[in-house]
Amino acid sequence: MTTIKAAVCHEFGQPLTVEEVQLRAPQMGEIEVSLSAVAVCHSDISFAEGAWGGSLPAVYGHEAAGNITAVGAGVTGLVKGDPVVVTLIRACGTCPSCSEGKPTICGTPYDGTKGPLSTLDGGPLDQAMACGAFAEKVVVDQSQVVKISEDIPMEAASLIACGVITGIGAVVNAAQIRAGQDVVVIGAGGVGLNAIQGARIAGARRIVAVDMNEEKLEIAKEFGATDGILATDKKPFVQAHRAMGRGADAVIVTVGAIPAYDAAPRYLAPGGKVIMVGMPHSGEKSSYEPVILAAIGQGMQGSKMGDVVIKRDIPWMVDLYQQGRLKLDELISGRWSLDQINEAIADTKTGSAKRNVIIFDR
């Protein structure tokens, strides 16, 4: 067992506690990664607030990058020292979902309370989201990582693990946007900005950002939005239709807000579809008129983690960054230490941050 520092949630809705915990060595098919950076995602915050339940105590964090420091038996293609992106996508490779090329919805359950983490006195400690990356090191399954170029800064690489693949993947994989089509992105936060980048990379004609914050709409234009519309305006969907000259081929909802889901179908063109990315709290419900969707061939589709296959999709995203076609450094709003994680979370909750990143001194 190795003693490391981690930010632990002992009670939902309360500040995390940075303390020493135990991390066991990697077992069959696992690797140990010493982290250089982990970004703060709204999903981590929602989990820590109890939005979706879960076991406590727990270590959250799932958007990370670092170097492999130990390798378990049976690991192939990865060696000690390799720089890697660490994701929460733990895929068995053999269940029906994995066999169909959909590892983000792998059907093999994982119990983080029986994972590699334990409290300093040997008690259970949940490795939440199969990652537990608000910590100096992680032990994860080899399926969760992708080797990356040594040229990409770790803080930029960490963003790819969730926000980037989720946003771009929602456009490219889920919506399958083609050149010349029109896209509306509701929410111009971390995931929304990457959906906007994804639409730009895919060759969308009009990319309309919708948000409640004027400043975020201006930032959205720096990432590729052609138009920005305040969600608080009267009938924003009418303004979006005017900007595009028609409805959208896809509406990407990147926020877990029920009003956004209620409004999303109103932005669509006939035959268009809503891609549901943002995750409301459990029990919250949205409403819509199914007769309209049925009558003009519209649809609503969930997308988890951008429907990515990480070993296929992350390398080309890294390459786009290296070509200067994918903005990553510009997504970073603030850099914090692990001891400052509660301040980083508070700043993220204000809604003004694109992505806050925890940096580890190594």
CA nearest neighbour of 85 among 310, 261, 258 = 310
Question: What pLDDT is recorded for position 177?
Answer: 98
Identify the pLDDT of residue 361.
80
H-state helical runs in 248-309: 258-263, 290-295
pLDDT value at position 362? 61
Six-digit token pair at 47?
Answer: 């989990």
Structure tokens at 326: 């994918």
Measured between alpha carbons, how far is 181 from 178 in angstroms, rounded to an integer?
6
Mean pLDDT calculated for residue range 244-252: 97
Predicted confidence (pLDDT) per residue in 314-351, tens digit:
999 999 999 999 999 999 999 999 999 999 999 999 88
- Whether pLDDT at 2 is above 70: yes
How high is the pLDDT of residue 351?
81
- Matching residue, tokens 């992505």: 355
pLDDT at 285 over 70: yes
- What is the SS3 assignment for 236? helix
Judge contact between 163 and 39, C-beta under 8 A. Answer: yes
Q: Which residues contact residue 88 at a Cβ distance below 8 angstroms, ignoring those fewer than 6 apart?
A: 62, 129, 130, 131, 144, 161, 162, 305
HSE at residue 339, side-chain half, CA atoms within 13 A, is 1
Predicted confidence (pLDDT) at residue 106 exceeds the cutoff of 70: yes
Measured CA to CA, the distance from residue 156 to residue 261 in angstroms comes to 30
Computed over every residue of the chain, the mean pLDDT equals 96
Model confidence at 52: pLDDT above 70: yes
Domains in the chain, CATH or no CATH each: 2-147+328-359 (3.90.180.10), 167-303 (3.40.50.720)
Is residue 321 within 8 A of residue 115, CB to CB? The reply is no
Q: Is residue 104's pLDDT more than 80?
A: yes
Span 24-47, pLDDT tens digits: 999 999 999 999 999 999 999 999
Sheet holding 299-302, edge to edge: 227-230, 206-211, 182-186, 248-253, 268-276, 299-302
> Which of these, 35, 3, 7, 6, lies nearest to 22 by C-alpha position?
3
What is the predicted pLDDT for the residue at 154? 97
φ/ψ of 204, rounded to 5, equals -60, 145
Rounded-to-integer distance, Cα 334 and Cα 337, Å:
10
Cα distances (angstroms) measured from residue 106 to each of 103, 165, 314: 5, 17, 18
Give the distance, in angstroms, between the CA of residue 54 and the centroid of all CA atoms in the same chain.
19
Long-range pairs for 312-320 at CB < 8 Å and ≥24 separation? Answer: 313/165, 313/168, 313/169, 313/173, 314/85, 314/146, 314/148, 314/160, 314/165, 315/146, 315/148, 317/160, 317/164, 317/165, 317/168, 318/148, 318/149, 318/152, 318/157, 318/160, 320/201
